Amino acid sequence: MDSFKAFRVHEGNGKTEARLETITLDALSEGDVVIRSVWSDVNYKDALAATGKGKIMRRFPMVGGIDVAGYVHSSSDKRYKKDDPVLVTGFGLSEKHDGGYAEYTRVPGDWVVPLPDGLSLYESMALGTAGFTAGLAADRMQHNGQTPDKGPILVNGATGGVGSFAVDMFAGLGFEVTAFTGKRDQDDYLKNLGASATIYRGEVEMGAAPLEKALWGGAVDSVGGDDLAWITRTVRPEGNIASIGLAGGIKLNTTVMPFILRGINLLGINSVFVPQEKRRSVWKRLGKDLKPRHLKEIVTNQVDLDTLSDVFDAYIDGKVAGRTVVRISDE
């Protein structure tokens, strides 16, 4: 290819500007594998980078997009050959390495994951980092002894990308799921994903005791702050909490009592730098037992590179439920 379209973020004079432009392969970060990009997606992190609301990118200009799926165009890594279907998530895409919002993406071979059985390229990006993160949470919690008989799973931030997938996945695994959200108008959406009950932020009496009534067998939390502190006080003995986000704050004001007297476990979930063996293992499960049953309902929007810039403000304003996929080129 001589040139191709890319959605790049620029910074100058204290301002951030994201725009679609034409570049050549020489403009991309180095790598062993060139992918003809077909699908990507939008995450909150992408919105922070594109709008400049968060200090995500380490240099400028840079191609946005922390996820990408497509076909190998060329590779000096012998593990991959032309036209292999592959995906890449994390590893610093759109932070320190040009990301997936371009018709071609170049990455190190060690970052590449072969498309797992049971998933199309589209479905892999309907999942993307959000689905992979929810999958990591489920996988970690199960390996740490989380079973349906221990009680319901509370999913906090349930209408977001990670939360939506967590509701669907845990319900599919046979758990009772309670959704925790601030969006009262999404009750039907959450029930369709498999939530058996919904509780609403601002209407829950969280209390202030070191231990409150034990309610949940475990939890997936994408909010942090006071919500997470309350969850630690209300999880049943030996329960696991997967901590995956900080939209509600980075401070955790709690005590050691839930950890000592109830033996709960707080599991930090980092989806960016995951060892390749674990990364591939979880992606294989995402094509099998962890594959969400309601992908069509969770994907609420689709855009292409030409209209991509229109979607980010809604993420910053907290007005998005479900997932947005980005069509980059024809399969």
Same domain, residue pair 249 and 321: no
Strands 67-75 and 85-89: antiparallel
Structural domains in the chain (count): 2
Q: What is the CATH number of the domain that holds 32?
A: 3.90.180.10
pLDDT in tens, 2-41: 899 999 999 988 899 999 999 999 999 999 999 999 999 9
pLDDT in tens, 128-154: 999 999 999 999 999 999 999 999 999
Same domain, residue pair 33 and 144: no
Same domain, residue pair 213 and 190: yes
Same domain, residue pair 167 and 219: yes
Same domain, residue pair 170 and 50: no
Same domain, residue pair 95 and 177: no
**Dihedral Cα 66, 72, 73, 76, nearest 10 deg:** 100
Would you state the pLDDT for residue 247?
85
Using CA atoms, how far apart are residues 126 and 12, in angstroms rounded to an integer? 33
Q: For residue 284, is it within any domain?
A: no
**Parent domain of 151:** 129-268
Greatest pairwise CA separation for the chain in angstroms: 64
Same domain, residue pair 89 and 145: no
Same domain, residue pair 60 and 188: no
Q: Which of 250, 268, 286 is the last residue of a domain?
A: 268
Would the pTM count as exceeding 0.75?
yes
Residues 22 and 4: beta-carbon distance below 8 Å: yes
Would you state the pLDDT for residue 318?
84
Same domain, residue pair 80 and 161: no
Q: What is the CATH number of the domain that holds 234?
A: 3.40.50.720
Q: For residue 239, is it within any domain?
A: yes
Q: For residue 288, is it within any domain?
A: no
Would you state the pLDDT for residue 13?
86
Q: Which of 251, 268, 285 is the last residue of a domain?
A: 268
Q: For residue 279, is it within any domain?
A: no
Would you state the pLDDT for residue 110?
97
Using CA atoms, how far apart are residues 127 and 287, in angstroms rounded to an integer? 10
Residues of the chain with pLDDT under 50: none
Q: For residue 280, is it within any domain?
A: no
Would you state the pLDDT for residue 331?
87
Would you state the pLDDT for residue 32?
97
DSSP per-residue string spanning 219-287: EEESS-HHHHHHHHHHBPTT-EEEE---TT-S-----SHHHHHS--EEEE---SS--HHHHHHHHHHHT
Would you state the pLDDT for residue 14?
83
Same domain, residue pair 250 and 302: no
Same domain, residue pair 140 and 248: yes
Percent of the chain with pLDDT over 90: 95
Q: For residue 43, is it within any domain?
A: yes
Residues in the chain: 331
Q: For residue 286, is it within any domain?
A: no
Q: For residue 277, is it within any domain?
A: no
Would you state the pLDDT for residue 35?
98
Same domain, residue pair 104 and 160: no
Would you state the pLDDT for residue 2?
87
